[in-house]
Structure 1
Amino acid sequence: MTTDLRIKELRLSHFRSHKALNLTLDDRVIAIYGANGAGKTNILEAVSMLSPGRGLRRAVADEITRKPEALGWKVSGVLQSLHQMHEIETWSEGGASRSVRIDSKSATQVALGRVARILWLVPSMDRLWTDGAEGRRRFLDRMTMSFEPSHAQSVLTYEKAMRERNRLLKDNQRDAAWYGALESQMAQAGAQIHANRQSALMRLVAAQEVAETSFPTATLTLIHPEGSAAFEDAEALMSALRESRPRDLMAGRTLIGPHRADLFAEYTAKGVPARDCSTGEQKALLISLILANARALKAEIGAPPILLLDEVAAHLDANRRAALYDEICALGAQAWMTGTGAELFDSLGERAMYLDVSESGAVSSVVTFSPT
């Protein structure tokens, strides 16, 4: 068996507009086209649910289930993860938190990150460089998780402890003993989060430096309002949290930690911050980082991640689109790409399998074909 990361079979049941969908996939990229609202992005969202978290729309379980039936939803399939094949199922019934099974055994969402490395770009991320820092942290954390699947657990541990600490702060609790254990958890997890993020950035920079690409290079910096010294190790972060208690009590929340970090990007060749670049340049920088992530992961584990590229042709001219498709195919990545018309994928030719998505009566249907 070849070393690869790709979905071989995908099955949807009552997932948004798709009442039922069964796909058998080969080694080509997947080009999905159809009118707006036909259900293209819903397919990408379903694939994103095979990784930890709330998927590319960050939806809660009840929002995903098909209406009006509201029976719950299920995504399942066969995933090739390097040298192994896995049966994966994830589902929700009655709006409950989603469940996961891997190879017929109950599993955590974090476990999905160990077998499925999935990255995505969606239209809302076109504003990544101009919106708030939270979106940039999520973007960085998903790239980081592709290198270090345990990063997801570190983030969960940190956020849970921080929520409990924030509850104490809001209640104006001043007994130091109540804070000690929580701050110890936050410090251990937070220092690991910082180290993982820095390691991911180093990998991305290295991958960009050696790449032959048509997309611009980004200079990346992880910024903390308090400076990075407090994050170098767990002891330093614990000390910083302890010293910040008076200020945090006044604010009613934790004001120091990796949850306040920001990702700064600069268009290297122009020396211009990404937030000040044109819309097309910002999109190109995002694509460049996704490709760098894929190259770095392939060099490290032998296979690039699965890529979900929603409306990826937006802001790209025909030459830049063709260059993107060439780079994806050269990487050997399983990329799922959407667009409103088949003509957007003309330069792919026989290198893709095509899904024609349409909608009637609030139910999506998919016709699969391959060019001859």
Structure 2
Amino acid sequence: MTAIRRLTLQNVRSYAALDQRFDGRSVVLTGPNGSGKTNLLEAISLLSPGRGLRSARLSDVRRQGADGFGVGVSLGTDADPDETRLSIRSAPPRPERREARVDGQPASGPGAFLDHVAMSWLTPAQDRLFVEGASERRRFLDRMTLTQDRAHAQASAAYEHAMRQRNAALTGPRSPDPRLLTVLETQMAESGVAVAAARRATAAALARGYEGLREGAFPGAEVALEGFLEEGLAIRAASDVEAEFQERLANGRRRDAEAGRALTGPHRSDLHVTHTDKAQPARLCSTGEQKALLIGLVLAGAAARRDQADVPLILLLDEVAAHLDQHRRAALSDILEQLGCQAFLTGTDAELFDAWGARAQAFAVSEGTLTERG
């Protein structure tokens, strides 16, 4: 199985330096709060498009007093543990930019790593995903979509870029050029429909993924997408939805100029999850049920992409076992083994991971160092 076999860190938060080998099994990291467990997961997550599992600025990731930082992983198998090397660094004169490399050669950015590895994660900050604002749910959905469709990163970036340019043109000191706005709105319509279509495909994939999970371990979930584009694609051809979106943008220029932002598009969509066994919206479920629903969604996503064997999936599960009973912890261990993907799990108590036994490589984390447990 292709997995992370080596992790190197330089000046990443609490880690002055780290060079750690892994044997391809899942990795359990335990230690007291503040020991560096989440910092390690965050470092790995930076090898993915976006701002990592904490959505932090690179200046916050950099160890205090350092000029820059670096993160590197080797992906491989037992036969070739260093088959592919991915790395990023941040250094003057552009400390807020990640310089990416694949096997030592410059890459366009972390988006290039999607050809080699996919990542999904859960953190305690996401425990309120179903009861807070739509933006966090969109981020969660788009992260899930990236594990299913590598092109989603490019479409999302193209949409955001065109939208920012249109916003600047509409709110600038000069009257906007209608021809420029038409070009930008065309780009927004094309990329926006691609974003919405990828999200819909992910929702369908999650439904398939649930069928392959151990029945009863985690609650089933029904995923619904709320948004003009996503709902339109359910009943009309993509070309028709694209044309209608472009028309809405053109007709809404004055309104968007007054608001200072685009008021319609996939950046306004939302994700709704229903606990299928109870026919109850996730936002109305208990805290424990919401946590189980989140874990189930991530596992269903992993199950849905098992046929994508060319790109391994890495799961980063921060404090995931703390709110699970013994039965669900054992089920999680069994499902991860069944899915055949490497997971990095953190917790304060080693006993929470007894169900993993020899199926995971366990480390004690203390003051930015890792010590393998016997």
Q: What's the counterpart of residue 180 of structure 1?
A: 182
Root-mean-square deviation (CA, aligned residues, Å) is 1.9
Question: 1:268 offset after TM fit, Å?
Answer: 0.6
Question: 1:203 offset after TM fit, Å?
Answer: 0.7
**What secondary structure sits across from 2:42 in the alignment?**
helix
Say if 1:261 and 1:311 are closer, same or farther in 2 by CA, change over 3 A: same
Is residue 78 of structure 1 aligned with residue 56 of structure 2?
no
CA–CA separation in structure 1 for the residues paired with 2:335 and 2:60: 35
Question: 1:239 offset after TM fit, Å?
Answer: 1.6
Question: 1:26 offset after TM fit, Å?
Answer: 1.1
Q: Which moved more, 1:173-182 or 1:324-333?
A: 173-182
Q: Percent identity among equivalent residues?
A: 43
Q: What's the counterpart of residue 315 of structure 1?
A: 323
Question: 1:276 offset after TM fit, Å?
Answer: 0.7
Deviation per residue, 1:24-78 (Å, 9 max, x gap): 111211000000000000111111112122111111111111113x131111121
**What secondary structure sits across from 1:298 in the alignment?**
coil
Q: What's the counterpart of residue 226 of structure 2?
A: 223
**Aligned counterparts, 1:71-110, within 5 A:** 71-80=67-76, 85-94=83-92, 95-107=95-107, 108-110=109-111
One-letter amino acid of the counterpart of residue 176, structure 1: P
Deviation per residue, 1:225-270 (Å, 9 max, x gap): 6873389432222122112223212322100100001001000110
One-letter amino acid of the counterpart of residue 202, structure 2: A
One-letter amino acid of the counterpart of residue 75, structure 1: V
One-letter amino acid of the counterpart of residue 193, structure 1: V
Cα pair 1:297 1:303 within 8 Å, conserved: no
Is residue 6 of structure 1 aligned with residue 3 of structure 2?
yes
What is the total number of aligned residue pairs between the two structures?
A: 361
Question: 1:175 offset after TM fit, Å?
Answer: 4.1
Is residue 260 of structure 1 aligned with residue 264 of structure 2?
no
CA–CA separation in structure 2 for the residues paired with 1:176 and 1:344: 60
Say if 1:16 and 1:224 are closer, same or farther in 2 by CA, change over 3 A: same
CA–CA separation in structure 2 for the residues paired with 1:142 and 1:90: 20
Question: 1:197 offset after TM fit, Å?
Answer: 0.6
CA–CA separation in structure 2 for the residues paired with 1:50 and 1:5: 16
Question: 1:167 offset after TM fit, Å?
Answer: 1.3
Out of 23, 26, 35, the position equivalent to 1:38 is 35
Say if 1:252 and 1:357 are closer, same or farther in 2 by CA, change over 3 A: same
Out of 345, 363, 367, the position equivalent to 1:355 is 363
Question: 1:87 offset after TM fit, Å?
Answer: 1.0
Cα pair 2:57 2:96 within 8 Å, conserved: no
TM-score by length of 1: 0.92
CA–CA separation in structure 2 for the residues paired with 1:215 and 1:5: 27
CA–CA separation in structure 1 for the residues paired with 2:310 and 2:288: 31
Q: What's the counterpart of residue 56 of structure 2?
A: 59
TM-score by length of 2: 0.92
Cα pair 1:5 1:117 within 8 Å, conserved: no
Unaligned runs of 5+ in 2: none
Out of 192, 201, 204, the position equivalent to 2:203 is 201
